[in-house]
Amino acid sequence: MTTTTRTRLPHRRPVVTEKIDAFGKALFISAGLDPATGQVKEVFFAGGKEGSAMDAIMADVGVVISVALQHGVPAEALARSIARIPLSPLRPEDLDGRPVATVPASPVGATLDWIMSVGER
């Protein structure tokens, strides 16, 4: 088994917070940035009903994404691995191998798309 080294962040670091619309719900995402590179290295969520199962799931998702990013997994690789749905119904001609325009199938995918946009700023 190959292990990777986790990039630990300093106690004080830049943070970006934005509200995104994830399937009709407001979701606030905070991203902790590596001060040396400006890359997103941690993610926190707010916006779920406090104490709800969804709130707990999103908190856990934030930990998983953060650990992956700190171990060097690119946000793009995570986003490609998350379920996506077509923007419109598929047609036979869509099956000829060309990429079909898609959107994230969950708030997790929307978050990963947002993380990639933060890295482009």
**Tens digit of each residue's pLDDT (9 = 90 or more) over 13-66:** 999 999 988 777 788 999 999 998 999 999 998 876 777 788 888 899 999 999
What's the maximum distance between 2 C-alpha atoms anywhere in the chain? 53
Q: How far is it, in rounded angstroms, from Cα 6 to Cα 29?
A: 22
Q: How far is it, in rounded angstroms, from Cα 82 to Cα 95?
A: 20
Q: Tell whether 88 is covered by a domain.
A: yes
Average pLDDT over every residue of 69-86: 90
**Can you give the pLDDT at residue 120?**
63
Q: Are 112 and 82 in contact (CB under 8 A)?
A: yes
Range of the domain at 96: 15-119
Q: Tell whether 1 is covered by a domain.
A: no
**Can you give the pLDDT at residue 1?**
58
Q: How far is it, in rounded angstroms, from Cα 27 to Cα 10?
A: 26
Number of domains the chain contains: 1
**Tens digit of each residue's pLDDT (9 = 90 or more) over 110-119:** 899 999 988 6
Q: Which amino acid is at 48?
A: G
